[in-house]
Chain A
Amino acid sequence: MNHGAATADIVARLQGVGLSYGKTRALDAVTLDLPSGCMVGLIGPDGVGKSSLLALIAGARTIQTGHVEVLGGDMANAAHRRSAYPRIAYMPQGLGRNLYPTLSVFDNVDFFGRLFGHEKGEREHRIRDLLESTGLALFASRPVANLSGGMKQKLGLCCALIHDPDLLILDEPTTGIDPLSRRQFWQLIERIRSSREGMSVIVATAYMEEAARFDWLIAMDGGRVLASGTPDEFLERTGTSELDAAFIALLPAAKREGYREVVIPPRPADTDDEAAIEADHLTKRFGDFIAVDDASFRIHRGEIFGFIGSNGCGKTTTMKMLTGLLDASDGRAMLLGREVDPRNVEVRRRVGYMSQGFSLYSELTVRQNLELHARLFGLPAGGIDGRVNEVARQFELTGILDAWPEALPLGNRQRLSLAVAMIHAPDVLILDEPTSGVDPVARDGFWTILVDLSRCLNVTVFVSTHFMNEAERCDRIALMHAGKVLVCDTPAAIVGSRGTPTLEAAFVDYLEDAANGEQVADMAEPLPKVARPSAGDARRLFDFRRMYAYTRRETLELLRDPIRATLATVGSLILMFVIGYGINMDVENLTFAILDHDDTAISRDYALQLSGSRFFTEKPPFAGYADMDRRMESGEIALALEIPPGFARDLSRGRQISVGAWIDGAMPARAETVRGYVEGMHANWLMQKAREPYGDVAAQGAFQLEVRYRYNPDVRSLDAMAPAVIPMLLLMIPSMLAVLSVVREKELGSIVNFYVTPVTRMEFLLGKQIPYVGIAMLNFLLLTAFAVFVFRVPLTGSLATLTAAAFLYVVVATAMGLFLSTFMRSQIAAIFGTVLITMIPAAQYSGMIDPVSSLQGVGAFIGQVYPATYFMTISRGVFSKGLGFGDLSGALVPLLIAIPVFIGLSAAFLRKQER
């Protein structure tokens, strides 16, 4: 694999580079030259700054101090970064972290191809070649979420290689992958390098046996470089025979002290064969898919039992069934002599389970995590402090008890996970890949603990792993593939049965036997070579192809998520229906009751004025003042009338009479209406009474007041409401979708693709915006059709004007969402923030119920600058007032202005590099 380590060229040069996350110092004055044209390996424990260093070289992170020169230019310089992006490929840590889980394999690679501006023909040709040579062609249409870890990493590599980079940066690409996939992965890299002479590869890895094959190694610790050179030089310098030992020898003395080699005492001969865990023909089906197929094995008390197998072969599912997290479809799972019962809380107290990946609370400190679990396992309150300290000591967490887990390196987090699983001193430990991504020193420390637990405390340890040297330490191992247990025996017996030199070779042998047919394409064939698109494309500030890459991907994601797509379209119709029928300004059926002290024909005639009207509904008369108070307090009665004693008598004698009326003022709008009605009816009754002696002639008033309700002559609430609801819905839903499309990428990590590819801010923003503008326009058409055909709201003006205005408006709405997304990091805050800035101003300050001209204070200001106000005017103008383009141009201008303002602000605040 030696490709000329002596190449004098330098691909990346770092000088005095420092990086801090808050108080944590990740890199400290790193000065380093990375030779070009060869494989450079970055080795060292977790959290020593390997990932940070790679992110800086890839341009994904802002440089804080020092100087980083990559491919002959300064990475602090935006212009150089732009020209360098097409020559660099970066695969971040974590299985498929920069991939899109709902998209298919093909669509993922296609997206990256588009980002780098490949033409259609070239792109398809390249994708086909890449997928075929990685053996992914068969799964081209499978969603990434359903791929195994090894396949995800191969796909990640395809995505990274699509643009033929000069510098390939891989951050722990083989972590958490089985040996067969790992071997295939390196073979692939080797082929790529042989077809592309001069390509530099920088890899961070936790596997020393991989590192031994690299051309050049850099050992890091504590944010500093310990040593660099060829693997042979490492061995020479330290006088050791293998890299594991060499690395440990390079460590500062203080760190080396804690290290001791894992020694496994044999199991005492007199151990009972009592089964702690027993799988008896266990089967688990998910629909048609059989995840675990008839698995049987017994694990004895105090035994260390290893579970190995490729990703996605059913190990995790089996472990979950044995802990009671999943129900078995068939067969029996026994734990400590009893059948596993998810409802049996007592058994769980005797089991410690550590799930795959870090799944503790990142919002709690290390100590808080430990305490929470201690409490949940019901440890006596007095002993918790002691136990936490004891466990912290045992797992070397003492110094970081008050740190936040997210700031900790993976190895420390895994130790924390194990500490949590051990906090209640369980009899059985079930550990799902506990050492994935943990460096050799930490892993050996971890195993020392496991051995102690098994041999001294007789704890049964059931552990799955990808590391063969760990599998060799187990008393017995089971090898699983595609849901079946292939073999279950001691490591020595397995090696013996296959006649291979190592366990790894035996494992690969078993897998190849089982997988016959699934063989990867011929490894000898070199990878096809295609010319890279000219660098000029990448430097262009706006490229439609790159923008379209985001548009297309966003659209595909929407299509793959039918619930979201349906809610986004049909949902708004449901809302419109509910609101249109629900909000009603016509006040009817107001309840009233009378306290009639007079009870004569005249007083009843007075009351008849109200009860005869369609606005009022009469309730039984009040029995007295107390009754009146009670019924008004409960809100049963909106209007109470009191007719004084001697009403009829006083009326005929012309004495001053006062009728009492009380309105429920709790709801001011309704009270105003009631007041208007009551006053009108009172006046009407008086007029009638006054004119009774004169006959009908006098019934005509002194003058007429002709009231014309314009634009809505029937005064139908719905006609006024529907045009006002459309602007509100068109604001809320599109902006919510737009916000989440960006914040989700931030939260789940795929935003890194934006950081390290030539995509510009504007391309990213507009590309994301377009599909949501499309959805919003579809929404607009549906809502308008619904208003016209279902609600029968007449549309009297120009539909073309309304459509054009709606287009501008939804562009503003989505741009507002994008703007908001630049401030938000978590999806929860984004949802909440969007509701606050859209729903409330749209419903209250945009003239939906009260005209903007009548608002006051801050609300009035919001109303005047809020885009919904203007679209509300247009919507009402077109629907009710019969207006067209000329009449409404005044309201269109503010929308036109808002578009560049919001998009410009979003572009200004969006960061192209992680800070």
Chain B
Amino acid sequence: MRLANVFHLGVKELRGLGRNTMLLVLVVYAFSVAIYVGSQAMPETLNRAPIAIVDEDQSAVSSRITSAFYLPYFMPPRLIAQSEMDLRMDAGLDTFALDIPPNFQRDLLAGRSPTIQLNIDATRMSQAFTGGGYVQSIVTGEVEEFLSRHRTERRLPVEIDLRARFNPELNKGWFGAINEMIEAITMLSVILTGAALIREREHGTIEHLLGMPVTAFEIMVGKIWSMGAVVLVATAFCLFVVVENLLAVPIEGSRLLFMAGAGLDIVAMTCLGLFLATVAGSMPQFALLVMMVLMPLQLLSGGVTPRENMPEIIQIIMYAAPNTHFVILAQAVLFRGAGLAVVWPQLLALAAIGTTLFAFSLHRFRQFLR
């Protein structure tokens, strides 16, 4: 391998990218506007959840319950008639509907243990699953408080002091921003390199390169370093300017460590992009393949939903994906302030996956050039 060749081939890629204005605009968009908007739009788990209350009791305790739901967790409750409840839930207007029966307060004080009905729209994934508990504890709290003025009960003096570490307010925007950034890194690394290779083939320039004293290895490394550098620079910009400054996400750990992880992830991803390009014959095929690969990578890497929820087999398979390790590393370093002592297994895994993908795509690449 001649480093000079690798360097010059890479510079050529950069010049080509520089000429594609539309692509540059999209790169900038993906690392700035998309992340900013994505982070701002991400509601906290329970944010402005729409709730409706059917108050058939119209008593002190029922109005107490009604006034206990307020922003930002809940939208101001809509007081509706029982007949409206089903229609509104069908139309997806409310996630929660609370039905307080007639004579609730009377029965409560009489110790008849009346029943409040809580309807949850279980198609509303996140809100339904976490918000249900909130509604329960709010209702229970209000009722108990009301009752405590009417009768006394021995209460145990044990409190639980719950604190969220690393993101005390559980601000979803922080997480959203980092997650968006990782998605942009994945997407760009794969598309930029892969499409650059297909383009060379569709325009016949790859053949030309082969007539020269350059090896397949040099061509490949030239593409990897140049496109990788673009993504890495964009990542740095995104982390320091967009995430830290504009979105004011506190970064706990070493930025350098994160960038090192990002570098390894980018190398692995660019290799994947080249590999896909050698498999695909034309640009439309490549586009479809990219979708087939990018979606599972992003959804199953643990960035969107926790890995431990996924079936065992998927968790194991996803260990082979670079961004699984990168998501773990990014969360550990950026939020939990973990150092090298903690994340070295991820770095090692990224390096190993990168090397494997590189060797594999080099093999494919050599065949592809035939």
The answer, among B128, B160, B337, for a CB contact under 8 Å with A682, is B160
Q: Does B127 contact A (CB under 8 A)?
A: yes
Shortest CB–CB separation between residue A319 and chain B, in angstroms? 10
The answer, among A708, A721, A825, A831, for a CB contact under 8 Å with B286, is A831
Listed by A's residue number, 29 A-B pairs whose Cβ atoms lie within 8 Å are A353-B208, A361-B12, A635-B332, A655-B157, A657-B159, A659-B158, A663-B162, A666-B175, A668-B44, A675-B164, A675-B170, A680-B137, A682-B160, A686-B155, A702-B111, A707-B132, A712-B122, A721-B125, A736-B291, A740-B283, A744-B284, A826-B199, A828-B191, A831-B287, A832-B26, A847-B92, A850-B42, A851-B92, A880-B122
**Of the 9-residue stretches B140-148, B255-263, B352-360, which lies at the interface with chain A?**
B140-148
Q: Does A122 contact B (CB under 8 A)?
A: no
Nearest chain-B residue to A876 (Cβ)?
A: B123
Nearest chain-A residue to B128 (Cβ)?
A: A709
**Of the 9-residue stretches A9-17, A763-771, A853-861, which lies at the interface with chain B?**
A853-861
Q: Does B309 contact A (CB under 8 A)?
A: yes
In the bound complex, residues from chain B placing their C-beta under 8 Å from that of A362 are 203
A853 & B50 in contact (Cβ 8 Å cutoff): yes
The answer, among B20, B38, B175, for a CB contact under 8 Å with A840, is B38
A661 & B207 in contact (Cβ 8 Å cutoff): no
Nearest chain-A residue to B154 (Cβ)?
A: A690
In the bound complex, residues from chain B placing their C-beta under 8 Å from that of A737 are 284, 288
Nearest chain-B residue to A630 (Cβ)?
A: B342
In the bound complex, residues from chain B placing their C-beta under 8 Å from that of A829 are 20, 22-23, 26
In the bound complex, residues from chain B placing their C-beta under 8 Å from that of A363 are 15-16, 18-20
**Of the 9-residue stretches A343-351, A388-396, A898-906, which lies at the interface with chain B?**
A343-351
B290 & A831 in contact (Cβ 8 Å cutoff): yes
In the bound complex, residues from chain B placing their C-beta under 8 Å from that of A655 are 157
Please give me the 4 A-B residue pairs with the lowest Cβ-Cβ distance, nearest first.
A859-B41, A665-B167, A676-B133, A665-B164
A586 & B309 in contact (Cβ 8 Å cutoff): yes
What 4 new A-B contacts, CB under 8 Å, besides A563-B281, A578-B314, A682-B158?
A: A360-B208, A668-B170, A703-B114, A849-B126
Contact with A along B192-216 (1 / 0, CB 8 A): 0001100100011101111111110
Q: How far is the CA of A710 from the CA of B133 in the complex (A)?
A: 15
Q: How far is the CA of A661 from the CA of B158 in the complex (A)?
A: 13
The answer, among A589, A663, A704, for a CB contact under 8 Å with B164, is A663
Contact A360 to B199, CB < 8 A, known contacts A655-B157, A690-B154, A828-B283: no
Shortest CB–CB separation between residue B19 and chain A, in angstroms? 4
Q: Does B124 contact A (CB under 8 A)?
A: yes
Shortest CB–CB separation between residue B106 and chain A, in angstroms? 12
**Of the 9-residue stretches A86-94, A105-113, A306-314, A372-380, which lies at the interface with chain B?**
A372-380
In the bound complex, residues from chain B placing their C-beta under 8 Å from that of A683 are 137
**Of the 9-residue stretches A25-33, A169-177, A439-447, A568-576, which lies at the interface with chain B?**
A568-576
Q: Does B171 contact A (CB under 8 A)?
A: yes
Contact with B along A619-652 (1 / 0, CB 8 A): 0000000000010111100000000000000010
Q: Give the residues from 679 to 728 in chain A that come closer than 8 angstroms, CB to CB, to chain B.
A: 679-680, 682-683, 686, 689-690, 700-713, 715, 717, 719-721, 723-724
B161 & A704 in contact (Cβ 8 Å cutoff): no
Contact A659 to B46, CB < 8 A, known contacts A664-B165, A890-B91: no
A633 & B336 in contact (Cβ 8 Å cutoff): yes
The answer, among A323, A703, A849, for a CB contact under 8 Å with B115, is A703
B163 & A663 in contact (Cβ 8 Å cutoff): yes
- Residues in chain B within 8 A of chain A (CB atoms): 2, 4-5, 8-9, 11-12, 15-16, 18-20, 22-23, 26, 29-30, 34, 37-38, 40-50, 75, 89-93, 95, 104, 108, 111, 113-130, 132-134, 136-137, 139-140, 143-144, 147, 153-168, 170-172, 174-175, 183, 187, 191, 195-196, 199, 203-205, 207-215, 280-292, 294-296, 299-300, 304-306, 308-311, 314, 328, 331-332, 335-339, 341-343, 370
B125 & A849 in contact (Cβ 8 Å cutoff): yes
Q: Give the residues from 78 to 126 in chain A that come closer than 8 angstroms, CB to CB, to chain B.
A: none
The answer, among B40, B163, B207, for a CB contact under 8 Å with A359, is B207
Contact A883 to B90, CB < 8 A, known contacts A575-B295, A659-B159: yes
B309 & A733 in contact (Cβ 8 Å cutoff): no
Q: Does A24 contact B (CB under 8 A)?
A: no
B283 & A563 in contact (Cβ 8 Å cutoff): no
In the bound complex, residues from chain A placing their C-beta under 8 Å from that of B286 are 831
Nearest chain-B residue to A739 (Cβ)?
A: B287
B161 & A571 in contact (Cβ 8 Å cutoff): no
A662 & B165 in contact (Cβ 8 Å cutoff): yes
Nearest chain-A residue to B179 (Cβ)?
A: A667
In the bound complex, residues from chain A placing their C-beta under 8 Å from that of B128 are 709, 715, 720
In the bound complex, residues from chain A placing their C-beta under 8 Å from that of B133 are 676-677, 679-680
Q: Give the residues from 556 to 590 in chain A that come closer than 8 angstroms, CB to CB, to chain B.
A: 561, 563-564, 567-568, 571, 574-575, 578-579, 581-590
- Specify which of B75, B129, B281, B287 lies most central, judged by the most chain A CB atoms within 10 Å of its CB: B287
In the bound complex, residues from chain B placing their C-beta under 8 Å from that of A651 are 156-158
Q: How far is the CA of A832 from the CA of B207 in the complex (A)?
A: 26
In the bound complex, residues from chain A placing their C-beta under 8 Å from that of B120 are 707-710
In the bound complex, residues from chain A placing their C-beta under 8 Å from that of B336 are 632-635, 664, 666
Nearest chain-B residue to A834 (Cβ)?
A: B287
Q: Does A355 contact B (CB under 8 A)?
A: yes
Q: How far is the CA of A890 from the CA of B124 in the complex (A)?
A: 19
B40 & A348 in contact (Cβ 8 Å cutoff): no
In the bound complex, residues from chain A placing their C-beta under 8 Å from that of B204 are 355, 357, 359
Q: How far is the CA of A877 from the CA of B91 in the complex (A)?
A: 8
The answer, among B113, B117, B154, B308, for a CB contact under 8 Å with A588, is B308
In the bound complex, residues from chain B placing their C-beta under 8 Å from that of A574 are 292
Q: Does A7 contact B (CB under 8 A)?
A: no
Nearest chain-A residue to B98 (Cβ)?
A: A705
Q: How far is the CA of A719 from the CA of B143 in the complex (A)?
A: 34
In the bound complex, residues from chain B placing their C-beta under 8 Å from that of A662 are 163-165
Q: How far is the CA of A630 from the CA of B336 in the complex (A)?
A: 10
Q: Give the residues from 832 to 869 in chain A that come closer than 8 angstroms, CB to CB, to chain B.
A: 832-836, 839-840, 844-845, 847-851, 853-860, 862
In the bound complex, residues from chain B placing their C-beta under 8 Å from that of A658 are 158-161
B338 & A634 in contact (Cβ 8 Å cutoff): yes
Shortest CB–CB separation between residue A820 and chain B, in angstroms? 11
B92 & A836 in contact (Cβ 8 Å cutoff): no
